[in-house]
Chain A
Amino acid sequence: MVQEERVDVGALVAEVEAEVARRRAAGDYPEELLTRLRTEFAVEEESEPPEALAIVESSRPLRSTRPVVGPAVVFGKRALRRLLSWYVHPAVHDQNRFNLALLRELRDLQARLERLERQAEGDGDEAHG
């Protein structure tokens, strides 16, 4: 049977909020457990891995949107890039080595952390069992 009665949802939400405030004030919530769960709670996102961004490119396609003089501007940029390459390339090379070294360390740390989490989870199960 379809119920035609309408709930005052605003009043109900206010009642819920008041009940939550009352329980919080009365210390009803397991704050320690909630804090631990919230801290532990992390969502894994399959975003672009940092490896994809680790290599810095020192040369990008050269373009100019200026009419007529565009080719000359591109030629000038290309010449400038070649003139500065003795300075730019070693700096970019060093940055890439640093990025990759940092990533290797991060991945090692991640593997250690996952190992420890699995271990802790196993210990917890044994304790409860």
Chain B
Amino acid sequence: MRLAFVTPRYGPEVLGGAETQVRDYAERLAAAGHEVEVLTTCALDHHTWLDALPAGESRLAGVTVRRHPVTRPRDHALAARQQPVLDSGLRLGESGERAWVENTGLSEPLLEAIAATAPRVDALLFAPYLFASTVLGAAVRPDRSLVIPCLHDEAYARFAPVQATLRGVAGLIFNTEAERDLAARLLGTLPSHRVVGEGFEATGAVDGPGFRRRHGIEGDVLAYAGRRERGKNYHLVLEYLTLYGRALSRRGPVTLLSMGGGPLRPPPAARPLVHDLGFVSHRDMLDALAASLASVQLSRMESFSRVLMEGWLSGTPAIVDSGCAVTREHCAQSGGGLWVGGAEEFAEVVDRLRTDPGLRDALASAGRRYVARRYSWPAVLGRLEAAVREMAG
């Protein structure tokens, strides 16, 4: 097949679940013999949308990448006016929503490239859902467009221009059944759609004890890996950790191995309980997960949650929020993790994991088997190829 991915930012220096997923898909499909190109902007930062890379064509891991300059510079004053309105739970109105979308790295040359590319490829694949490259790009040739939305239950998913685009395309590719159900609730009638998910390889040997030695870590630890921001409920991780350590634990406090970047810092009460590792290599992250009682992921803004899978592959069970349909579904289907609805339940679960190594092993093994069964690369690529053929055909 000849395929073109369209994504606002692309490259190994771009962090983020959806961005990693697009790169993985593009590289794996290219390695499987498909002709794959990526249409993207020159930007790397989704706050500034400044052109950081040169425009033009390059090759990256077997994939042809065509970059186009951002032609609508970020209007920070507009963003500063609109964000408080959204944060207050209010709507921007359709023209405001359109202005919001156009303020996310709009590139007119990219839209022209999409129009020029559409006739010579079997499908255009857009991801994720909320940026100008998808909302406006997939509307250029909706009949040739498939969107991998990576949808979250958030204000942007209710924007009228976003919903119009998602309803009008040839097909949607979801990461989980729970994401599909969310889309059905938001959009009403869905176009053709399939559930595919992300692919993983076995991690190889992980070294939890070595990680402990290297970082001088003693005692029981939990792990958090991801963006440290309110949207990911990191503040709730810190709160539960603090309440557990200072009031609820029957076995004393635990330490949180905190990995990633973001604006949230632990409040004074939580600081002694947090071991801040900042950004770490992928290998170190897997070792840190292996050294931990559980990976804690209380975010409700997930369309898939890579870190849950990586925890299971590292031999670590998961603790997730009962209000997140996606992560809860993963745990229920795999038998690899437990969901909690408050600090007291969190404490009860952590106490059980600390006292019952057999439970920990059984949860982690079930999680690992789930990843191997459903999200091995051969299984995922098979579903992806079938989805593209059936929906773009």
Which residues of A line the B interface, CB within 8 A? 2-10, 12-13, 16-17, 19-20, 23-24, 29-30, 33-34, 37-38, 40-48, 52-53, 57, 60, 117, 121
Contacts and interface: CB of A to CB of B under 8 A. Distances in A.
Nearest to B270: A41
A30 B348 CA distance: 15
Interface stretch (B27-35, B151-159, B237-245): B237-245
Contact of A37 (B243, B341, B342, B349): B243
Contacts of B358: 3
Contact of A24 (B344, B349, B359, B363): B344
B122 interface: no
B338 A46 contact: no
27 contacts: A2-B365, A6-B366, A9-B335, A10-B332, A12-B338, A13-B339, A13-B340, A16-B338, A17-B341, A23-B344, A29-B248, A30-B247, A33-B246, A34-B247, A34-B248, A34-B343, A37-B246, A40-B267, A40-B269, A41-B238, A41-B243, A41-B269, A43-B230, A43-B235, A43-B239, A43-B267, A117-B268
Contacts of A4: 365
B247 A46 contact: no
B338 A60 contact: no
B187 interface: no
Interface string B240-271: 00110011100000000000000111111110
Given A23-B344, A43-B264, 19 more contacts: A3-B362, A3-B365, A9-B332, A9-B335, A9-B338, A13-B322, A17-B341, A20-B344, A24-B344, A29-B247, A40-B267, A40-B269, A41-B238, A44-B267, A46-B265, A48-B80, A52-B80, A53-B80, A60-B77
A117 B267 CA distance: 12
Interface of chain B: mostly helix, strand, loop or mixed: helix
Contact of B348 (A19, A42, A47, A57): A19
A8 B345 CA distance: 17
Q: Which 8 A-B pairs have the closest CB atoms?
A: A43-B235, A46-B263, A20-B344, A16-B348, A6-B335, A33-B247, A7-B362, A44-B265
Nearest to B247: A33
B361 interface: yes
B243 A7 contact: no
A7 B242 contact: no
B263 A47 contact: yes
A45 B268 CA distance: 13
A121 B268 contact: yes
Nearest to A117: B268
A38 to B, nearest CB: 7
A33 B243 CA distance: 9
Contacts of B246: 33, 37
Contact of B362 (A5, A13, A53): A5
Contacts of A34: 243, 247-248, 343
A7 B229 CA distance: 32
B265 A43 contact: yes
A44 B270 CA distance: 11
Contact of A9 (B238, B248, B265, B363): B363
A9 B334 CA distance: 9
A84 to B, nearest CB: 20
B185 interface: no
Contacts of A30: 247
B172 interface: no
A30 B238 CA distance: 19
Contacts of A52: 80
A71 to B, nearest CB: 21
A36 B348 CA distance: 20
